[in-house]
Protein backbone atom coordinates (compact mmCIF):
# COMPACT_ATOMS: atom_id res chain seq x y z
CA UNK A 1 0.00 0.00 0.00
CA UNK A 2 2.88 2.40 0.83
CA UNK A 3 4.48 1.71 -2.55
CA UNK A 4 1.17 2.37 -4.31
CA UNK A 5 0.66 5.62 -2.36
CA UNK A 6 4.19 6.79 -3.22
CA UNK A 7 3.50 6.01 -6.89
CA UNK A 8 0.34 8.15 -6.83
CA UNK A 9 2.23 11.06 -5.26
CA UNK A 10 5.03 10.87 -7.85
CA UNK A 11 2.48 10.65 -10.64
CA UNK A 12 0.67 13.71 -9.29
CA UNK A 13 3.91 15.70 -9.30
CA UNK A 14 4.69 14.63 -12.88
CA UNK A 15 1.19 15.53 -14.07
CA UNK A 16 0.87 18.75 -12.06
CA UNK A 17 0.02 20.74 -15.17
CA UNK A 18 -3.13 18.73 -15.82
CA UNK A 19 -4.31 17.60 -12.40
CA UNK A 20 -6.71 19.83 -10.41
CA UNK A 21 -4.81 22.31 -8.24
CA UNK A 22 -5.01 22.04 -4.46
CA UNK A 23 -7.08 24.60 -2.65
CA UNK A 24 -5.26 27.16 -0.54
CA UNK A 25 -5.17 26.93 3.22
CA UNK A 26 -5.68 29.97 5.44
CA UNK A 27 -4.84 30.23 9.11
CA UNK A 28 -6.50 32.80 11.39
CA UNK A 29 -3.87 35.24 12.65
CA UNK A 30 -5.75 35.71 15.95
CA UNK A 31 -4.80 39.41 15.67
CA UNK A 32 -7.16 42.42 15.76
CA UNK A 33 -4.92 45.20 14.48
CA UNK A 34 -7.43 46.70 12.04
CA UNK A 35 -10.37 46.37 14.42
CA UNK A 36 -8.48 48.08 17.24
CA UNK A 37 -7.53 50.98 14.95
CA UNK A 38 -11.05 51.48 13.56
CA UNK A 39 -13.25 50.82 16.61
CA UNK A 40 -13.17 54.38 18.08
CA UNK A 41 -14.35 55.83 14.77
CA UNK A 42 -17.11 53.24 14.36
CA UNK A 43 -18.31 53.89 17.90
CA UNK A 44 -18.45 57.65 17.22
CA UNK A 45 -20.36 57.11 13.98
CA UNK A 46 -17.70 58.78 11.82
CA UNK A 47 -17.03 55.46 10.13
CA UNK A 48 -20.27 53.54 9.43
CA UNK A 49 -18.54 50.26 8.65
CA UNK A 50 -15.55 48.77 6.85
CA UNK A 51 -13.86 45.53 5.87
CA UNK A 52 -10.12 44.93 6.11
CA UNK A 53 -8.43 41.69 5.08
CA UNK A 54 -4.71 41.33 5.79
CA UNK A 55 -2.95 38.24 4.45
CA UNK A 56 0.64 37.24 5.07
CA UNK A 57 1.87 34.00 3.54
CA UNK A 58 -1.11 31.87 4.57
CA UNK A 59 -2.01 33.75 7.75
CA UNK A 60 -5.02 36.07 7.55
CA UNK A 61 -6.67 38.75 9.69
CA UNK A 62 -10.28 39.41 8.64
CA UNK A 63 -12.01 42.44 10.11
CA UNK A 64 -15.68 43.25 9.43
CA UNK A 65 -16.55 46.15 11.70
CA UNK A 66 -19.64 48.35 11.90
CA UNK A 67 -22.60 48.47 9.55
CA UNK A 68 -23.41 48.09 5.87
CA UNK A 69 -26.56 50.08 6.69
CA UNK A 70 -26.48 52.17 9.87
CA UNK A 71 -30.19 53.02 9.93
CA UNK A 72 -31.22 49.38 9.60
CA UNK A 73 -28.45 48.21 11.98
CA UNK A 74 -27.39 45.72 9.31
CA UNK A 75 -23.87 44.54 10.08
CA UNK A 76 -21.22 44.68 7.37
CA UNK A 77 -20.19 41.27 6.08
CA UNK A 78 -17.89 39.68 3.54
CA UNK A 79 -20.88 38.81 1.33
CA UNK A 80 -22.37 42.34 1.12
CA UNK A 81 -22.16 43.62 -2.44
CA UNK A 82 -20.62 47.00 -3.23
CA UNK A 83 -19.55 49.07 -6.21
CA UNK A 84 -15.82 48.53 -6.75
CA UNK A 85 -15.55 51.32 -9.35
CA UNK A 86 -12.09 51.47 -10.95
CA UNK A 87 -10.98 48.15 -9.52
CA UNK A 88 -12.82 46.85 -12.60
CA UNK A 89 -9.80 47.94 -14.66
CA UNK A 90 -7.68 45.09 -13.33
CA UNK A 91 -10.27 42.60 -14.56
CA UNK A 92 -9.93 44.01 -18.06
CA UNK A 93 -6.16 43.82 -17.69
CA UNK A 94 -6.40 40.11 -16.99
CA UNK A 95 -8.53 39.50 -20.10
CA UNK A 96 -6.00 41.39 -22.23
CA UNK A 97 -3.15 39.42 -20.62
CA UNK A 98 -4.90 36.14 -21.49
CA UNK A 99 -5.08 37.06 -25.16
CA UNK A 100 -1.41 38.10 -25.16
CA UNK A 101 -0.48 34.82 -23.50
CA UNK A 102 -2.42 32.89 -26.14
CA UNK A 103 -0.68 34.77 -28.96
CA UNK A 104 -3.91 36.31 -30.21
CA UNK A 105 -2.76 39.90 -29.70
CA UNK A 106 0.41 41.81 -28.89
CA UNK A 107 0.53 44.80 -26.55
CA UNK A 108 2.25 46.75 -29.32
CA UNK A 109 -0.39 45.97 -31.92
CA UNK A 110 -2.06 49.10 -33.30
CA UNK A 111 -5.57 49.44 -31.92
CA UNK A 112 -6.67 50.08 -35.52
CA UNK A 113 -5.74 46.47 -36.39
CA UNK A 114 -8.88 45.45 -34.51
CA UNK A 115 -10.88 48.70 -34.45
CA UNK A 116 -10.46 50.39 -37.88
CA UNK A 117 -11.99 53.66 -36.66
CA UNK A 118 -8.69 54.36 -34.87
CA UNK A 119 -6.64 54.38 -38.09
CA UNK A 120 -6.62 58.18 -38.19
CA UNK A 121 -6.53 60.17 -34.96
CA UNK A 122 -6.27 63.87 -34.23
CA UNK A 123 -4.60 65.64 -31.32
CA UNK A 124 -6.09 68.81 -29.83
CA UNK A 125 -3.64 71.72 -29.78
CA UNK A 126 -5.98 74.52 -28.76
CA UNK A 127 -9.64 75.04 -27.96
CA UNK A 128 -10.41 78.76 -27.75
CA UNK A 129 -13.72 80.58 -28.26
CA UNK A 130 -15.27 77.44 -29.67
CA UNK A 131 -12.54 77.02 -32.29
CA UNK A 132 -10.39 73.91 -32.16
CA UNK A 133 -6.90 73.64 -33.59
CA UNK A 134 -5.69 70.08 -34.12
CA UNK A 135 -2.96 68.08 -35.83
CA UNK A 136 -2.96 64.54 -37.12
CA UNK A 137 -1.46 62.15 -34.58
CA UNK A 138 2.09 61.13 -35.45
CA UNK A 139 2.37 58.19 -33.04
CA UNK A 140 0.54 54.92 -33.55
CA UNK A 141 -1.97 54.16 -30.78
CA UNK A 142 -1.29 50.69 -29.34
CA UNK A 143 -3.13 48.32 -27.04
CA UNK A 144 -0.41 48.92 -24.46
CA UNK A 145 -1.19 52.66 -24.47
CA UNK A 146 -4.95 52.38 -24.00
CA UNK A 147 -4.46 49.93 -21.13
CA UNK A 148 -1.87 51.98 -19.22
CA UNK A 149 -3.43 55.45 -19.60
CA UNK A 150 -0.93 56.85 -22.09
CA UNK A 151 -3.29 56.91 -25.08
CA UNK A 152 -4.38 60.54 -24.68
CA UNK A 153 -8.07 59.91 -23.97
CA UNK A 154 -10.31 61.82 -21.53
CA UNK A 155 -11.56 60.19 -18.36
CA UNK A 156 -14.96 59.48 -19.96
CA UNK A 157 -16.51 60.17 -23.36
CA UNK A 158 -19.20 62.86 -23.47
CA UNK A 159 -22.05 60.33 -23.54
CA UNK A 160 -20.97 58.91 -20.17
CA UNK A 161 -20.49 62.04 -18.10
CA UNK A 162 -22.08 61.91 -14.66
CA UNK A 163 -24.13 65.05 -15.21
CA UNK A 164 -26.02 63.39 -18.07
CA UNK A 165 -29.16 61.44 -17.19
CA UNK A 166 -28.34 57.79 -17.63
CA UNK A 167 -24.63 58.63 -17.90
CA UNK A 168 -21.83 57.46 -15.70
CA UNK A 169 -19.47 54.52 -15.92
CA UNK A 170 -22.07 51.92 -16.80
CA UNK A 171 -24.59 54.20 -18.45
CA UNK A 172 -24.68 55.93 -21.78
CA UNK A 173 -23.03 53.57 -24.24
CA UNK A 174 -21.89 49.97 -24.84
CA UNK A 175 -18.19 49.26 -25.31
CA UNK A 176 -18.04 49.31 -29.11
CA UNK A 177 -19.97 52.57 -29.25
CA UNK A 178 -17.74 54.03 -26.57
CA UNK A 179 -14.71 53.15 -28.69
CA UNK A 180 -16.25 54.67 -31.81
CA UNK A 181 -17.05 57.94 -30.02
CA UNK A 182 -13.53 58.06 -28.58
CA UNK A 183 -12.00 57.53 -32.04
CA UNK A 184 -13.99 60.42 -33.48
CA UNK A 185 -12.94 62.81 -30.70
CA UNK A 186 -9.59 64.63 -30.48
CA UNK A 187 -6.88 63.23 -28.24
CA UNK A 188 -5.44 65.34 -25.44
CA UNK A 189 -1.83 64.56 -26.43
CA UNK A 190 0.29 62.41 -28.71
CA UNK A 191 -0.18 58.72 -27.83
CA UNK A 192 2.56 57.36 -25.61
CA UNK A 193 4.06 60.72 -24.60
CA UNK A 194 2.14 61.50 -21.40
CA UNK A 195 -0.26 59.84 -18.99
CA UNK A 196 -3.84 60.76 -18.17
CA UNK A 197 -6.07 58.45 -16.14
CA UNK A 198 -8.87 57.29 -18.43
CA UNK A 199 -11.80 54.92 -18.17
CA UNK A 200 -12.18 55.42 -21.92
CA UNK A 201 -8.85 53.81 -22.73
CA UNK A 202 -9.69 50.69 -20.71
CA UNK A 203 -13.07 50.47 -22.45
CA UNK A 204 -11.24 50.57 -25.79
CA UNK A 205 -9.11 47.66 -24.61
CA UNK A 206 -12.27 45.73 -23.77
CA UNK A 207 -13.66 46.51 -27.25
CA UNK A 208 -10.50 44.91 -28.71
CA UNK A 209 -11.23 41.80 -26.63
CA UNK A 210 -14.72 41.68 -28.13
CA UNK A 211 -13.39 41.78 -31.69
CA UNK A 212 -10.71 39.15 -31.06
CA UNK A 213 -12.93 36.71 -29.15
CA UNK A 214 -16.21 37.32 -30.96
CA UNK A 215 -17.85 37.61 -27.53
CA UNK A 216 -19.17 40.44 -25.42
CA UNK A 217 -16.33 41.46 -23.14
CA UNK A 218 -18.33 40.80 -19.98
CA UNK A 219 -19.21 37.29 -21.18
CA UNK A 220 -15.57 36.54 -21.96
CA UNK A 221 -14.65 37.85 -18.50
CA UNK A 222 -17.28 35.63 -16.91
CA UNK A 223 -16.21 32.55 -18.87
CA UNK A 224 -12.46 32.94 -18.44
CA UNK A 225 -12.08 34.63 -15.04
CA UNK A 226 -15.18 34.98 -12.86
CA UNK A 227 -16.61 31.47 -13.25
CA UNK A 228 -13.28 29.61 -12.94
CA UNK A 229 -12.49 31.53 -9.75
CA UNK A 230 -15.97 30.91 -8.33
CA UNK A 231 -16.84 34.62 -8.24
CA UNK A 232 -20.60 34.10 -8.31
CA UNK A 233 -21.52 37.47 -6.76
CA UNK A 234 -19.52 39.67 -9.17
CA UNK A 235 -21.37 41.17 -12.12
CA UNK A 236 -22.44 44.40 -13.81
CA UNK A 237 -26.14 43.87 -13.08
CA UNK A 238 -26.70 43.02 -9.39
CA UNK A 239 -30.02 41.38 -8.60
CA UNK A 240 -32.67 43.19 -6.56
CA UNK A 241 -32.00 40.70 -3.76
CA UNK A 242 -28.29 41.54 -3.79
CA UNK A 243 -29.00 45.27 -3.77
CA UNK A 244 -31.04 44.89 -0.58
CA UNK A 245 -27.84 43.58 1.00
CA UNK A 246 -25.45 46.20 -0.43
CA UNK A 247 -23.01 48.37 1.52
CA UNK A 248 -24.61 51.81 1.61
CA UNK A 249 -22.87 55.04 0.58
CA UNK A 250 -21.95 57.60 3.25
CA UNK A 251 -20.40 61.04 3.27
CA UNK A 252 -17.94 61.33 6.12
CA UNK A 253 -18.03 64.36 8.42
CA UNK A 254 -15.46 66.08 10.62
CA UNK A 255 -16.04 64.94 14.23
CA UNK A 256 -19.64 63.97 13.44
CA UNK A 257 -21.58 60.88 12.33
CA UNK A 258 -21.44 60.02 8.63
CA UNK A 259 -24.45 60.96 6.47
CA UNK A 260 -26.18 58.47 4.15
CA UNK A 261 -26.03 59.27 0.41
CA UNK A 262 -28.53 57.70 -1.97
CA UNK A 263 -26.38 57.57 -5.11
CA UNK A 264 -23.44 59.13 -6.93
CA UNK A 265 -23.55 61.10 -10.18
CA UNK A 266 -21.31 58.58 -11.96
CA UNK A 267 -23.37 55.57 -10.83
CA UNK A 268 -27.07 56.32 -10.86
CA UNK A 269 -30.10 54.26 -9.98
CA UNK A 270 -31.57 51.94 -11.11
CA UNK A 271 -28.43 49.83 -11.05
CA UNK A 272 -29.64 46.85 -13.07
CA UNK A 273 -32.03 48.02 -15.77
CA UNK A 274 -31.60 48.45 -19.54
CA UNK A 275 -29.64 51.73 -19.26
CA UNK A 276 -26.72 49.87 -17.66
CA UNK A 277 -23.94 48.71 -19.98
CA UNK A 278 -20.81 46.82 -19.03
CA UNK A 279 -17.84 49.15 -18.62
CA UNK A 280 -14.28 47.90 -18.28
CA UNK A 281 -13.08 51.19 -16.79
CA UNK A 282 -15.45 50.93 -13.83
CA UNK A 283 -18.77 49.28 -13.09
CA UNK A 284 -18.40 45.82 -11.57
CA UNK A 285 -20.33 45.08 -8.40
CA UNK A 286 -18.72 42.51 -6.13
CA UNK A 287 -18.29 41.33 -2.54
CA UNK A 288 -15.21 41.29 -0.34
CA UNK A 289 -15.28 37.49 -0.43
CA UNK A 290 -15.32 37.48 -4.24
CA UNK A 291 -12.76 40.25 -4.61
CA UNK A 292 -10.39 38.33 -2.37
CA UNK A 293 -10.49 35.43 -4.84
CA UNK A 294 -9.41 37.69 -7.71
CA UNK A 295 -6.54 39.38 -5.89
CA UNK A 296 -5.27 36.15 -4.36
CA UNK A 297 -5.11 34.82 -7.92
CA UNK A 298 -2.85 37.75 -8.83
CA UNK A 299 -0.80 37.26 -5.67
CA UNK A 300 -0.40 33.56 -6.50
CA UNK A 301 0.80 34.43 -10.02
CA UNK A 302 -2.26 33.33 -11.93
CA UNK A 303 -3.68 30.55 -9.73
CA UNK A 304 -6.84 30.96 -7.68
CA UNK A 305 -7.19 29.62 -4.15
CA UNK A 306 -9.53 27.01 -5.62
CA UNK A 307 -6.72 25.79 -7.88
CA UNK A 308 -8.00 27.36 -11.10
CA UNK A 309 -5.17 28.46 -13.36
CA UNK A 310 -6.17 31.77 -15.00
CA UNK A 311 -2.78 32.95 -16.28
CA UNK A 312 0.76 31.64 -16.49
CA UNK A 313 3.23 32.81 -13.86
CA UNK A 314 5.40 34.66 -16.36
CA UNK A 315 2.40 36.49 -17.79
CA UNK A 316 1.53 37.97 -14.40
CA UNK A 317 5.16 38.80 -13.64
CA UNK A 318 5.89 40.45 -16.99
CA UNK A 319 2.79 42.51 -17.87
CA UNK A 320 0.62 42.80 -14.75
CA UNK A 321 2.99 43.03 -11.77
CA UNK A 322 5.31 45.62 -13.38
CA UNK A 323 4.76 48.81 -15.37
CA UNK A 324 4.22 48.66 -19.12
CA UNK A 325 4.82 52.42 -19.51
CA UNK A 326 7.97 54.19 -20.70
CA UNK A 327 10.33 54.66 -17.74
CA UNK A 328 9.72 58.40 -17.47
CA UNK A 329 5.92 58.05 -17.15
CA UNK A 330 5.58 56.33 -13.78
CA UNK A 331 4.19 52.97 -12.78
CA UNK A 332 1.10 51.35 -14.29
CA UNK A 333 0.64 48.03 -16.08
CA UNK A 334 -2.59 46.79 -17.66
CA UNK A 335 -5.42 48.26 -15.62
CA UNK A 336 -3.34 47.96 -12.44
CA UNK A 337 -1.02 50.25 -10.53
CA UNK A 338 2.38 48.58 -10.61
CA UNK A 339 6.04 49.39 -9.89
CA UNK A 340 8.46 50.48 -12.59
CA UNK A 341 11.05 47.99 -11.34
CA UNK A 342 10.16 44.71 -9.66
CA UNK A 343 11.64 43.87 -6.25
CA UNK A 344 10.95 41.84 -3.11
CA UNK A 345 9.05 44.83 -1.72
CA UNK A 346 7.01 45.59 -4.85
CA UNK A 347 3.23 45.68 -4.58
CA UNK A 348 0.60 45.96 -7.32
CA UNK A 349 -3.19 46.31 -7.38
CA UNK A 350 -5.81 49.03 -7.70
CA UNK A 351 -8.29 51.21 -5.87
CA UNK A 352 -11.82 52.39 -6.53
CA UNK A 353 -13.44 55.82 -6.32
CA UNK A 354 -15.69 55.00 -3.37
CA UNK A 355 -12.68 54.12 -1.22
CA UNK A 356 -12.02 50.44 -1.92
CA UNK A 357 -8.60 49.06 -2.74
CA UNK A 358 -6.53 45.91 -2.81
CA UNK A 359 -2.80 45.50 -3.30
CA UNK A 360 -0.61 42.38 -3.33
CA UNK A 361 3.05 41.39 -3.10
CA UNK A 362 3.63 38.16 -5.02
CA UNK A 363 7.18 37.73 -3.73
CA UNK A 364 6.17 37.60 -0.05
CA UNK A 365 2.61 36.34 -0.64
CA UNK A 366 1.07 39.34 1.09
CA UNK A 367 -2.24 41.15 0.48
CA UNK A 368 -4.32 43.98 1.89
CA UNK A 369 -7.96 44.41 0.88
CA UNK A 370 -9.98 47.41 2.09
CA UNK A 371 -13.71 48.05 1.59
CA UNK A 372 -16.17 50.79 2.43
CA UNK A 373 -18.43 53.05 0.34
CA UNK A 374 -17.35 56.66 0.77
CA UNK A 375 -19.09 59.60 -0.90
CA UNK A 376 -16.45 62.10 0.19
CA UNK A 377 -15.29 63.59 3.48
CA UNK A 378 -12.31 63.22 5.84
CA UNK A 379 -10.76 59.90 6.84
CA UNK A 380 -9.09 60.58 10.21
CA UNK A 381 -8.55 56.87 10.92
CA UNK A 382 -5.99 56.50 8.12
CA UNK A 383 -2.86 56.99 10.28
CA UNK A 384 -4.01 54.45 12.87
CA UNK A 385 -5.10 52.01 10.16
CA UNK A 386 -1.83 52.30 8.25
CA UNK A 387 0.06 51.67 11.49
CA UNK A 388 -2.08 48.59 12.10
CA UNK A 389 -1.29 47.28 8.62
CA UNK A 390 2.43 47.78 9.19
CA UNK A 391 2.23 45.96 12.51
CA UNK A 392 0.52 43.00 10.89
CA UNK A 393 3.11 42.60 8.16
CA UNK A 394 6.12 43.27 10.39
CA UNK A 395 5.15 40.71 13.03
CA UNK A 396 6.55 37.22 12.60
CA UNK A 397 3.44 35.09 12.34
CA UNK A 398 3.19 31.35 12.86
CA UNK A 399 2.14 29.86 9.54
CA UNK A 400 2.90 26.24 10.36
CA UNK A 401 0.62 23.90 8.50
CA UNK A 402 -0.10 26.42 5.76
CA UNK A 403 1.07 25.96 2.16
CA UNK A 404 3.52 28.75 1.38
CA UNK A 405 2.47 28.87 -2.24
CA UNK A 406 -1.12 27.96 -2.95
CA UNK A 407 -2.08 25.88 -5.94
CA UNK A 408 1.23 24.32 -7.01
CA UNK A 409 1.93 20.59 -6.81
CA UNK A 410 5.50 19.49 -6.32
CA UNK A 411 7.08 22.91 -5.74
Residue 160 binned pLDDT confidence (cut-offs 50, 70, 90)? confident
Residue 409 counted as domain residue = no
Return the CATH number at 195.
3.40.710.10
Residue 40 counted as domain residue = yes
Q: 315: domain range?
A: 24-394
| Tens of pLDDT, residues 224-245 | 999 999 999 999 999 999 999 9
Residue 128 counted as domain residue = yes
Contact 51, 63 (CB under 8 A): yes
| Tens of pLDDT, residues 328-366 | 999 999 999 999 999 999 999 999 999 999 999 999 999
Mean pLDDT across the stretch 283-306? Answer: 97
Residue 8 counted as domain residue = no
pLDDT at residue 296 in the model:
98
| Tens of pLDDT, residues 50-70 | 999 999 999 999 999 999 999
pTM to 2 decimal places: 0.89
Contact 170, 236 (CB under 8 A): yes
Residue 227 counted as domain residue = yes
* Average pLDDT value over all residues in the chain: 90
Residue 160 counted as domain residue = yes
Residue 200 counted as domain residue = yes
pLDDT at residue 404 in the model:
32
Residue 17 counted as domain residue = no
Of 132 and 298, more confident: 298
How many independent structural domains does the chain possess? 1
Amino acid sequence: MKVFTRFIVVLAVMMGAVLPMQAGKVKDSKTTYARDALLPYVESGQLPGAISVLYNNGVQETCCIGYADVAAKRRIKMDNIFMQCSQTKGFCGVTIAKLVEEGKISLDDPVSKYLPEFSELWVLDEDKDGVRKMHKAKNVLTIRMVMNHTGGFPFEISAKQGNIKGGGWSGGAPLRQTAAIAASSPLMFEPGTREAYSNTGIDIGAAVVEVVTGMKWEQYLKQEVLDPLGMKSTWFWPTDRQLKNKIELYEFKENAPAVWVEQMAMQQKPYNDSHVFASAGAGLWTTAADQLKFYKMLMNLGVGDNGARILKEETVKSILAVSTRPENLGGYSLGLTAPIVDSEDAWFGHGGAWGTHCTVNWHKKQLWLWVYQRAGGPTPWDPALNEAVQKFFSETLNNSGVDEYTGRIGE
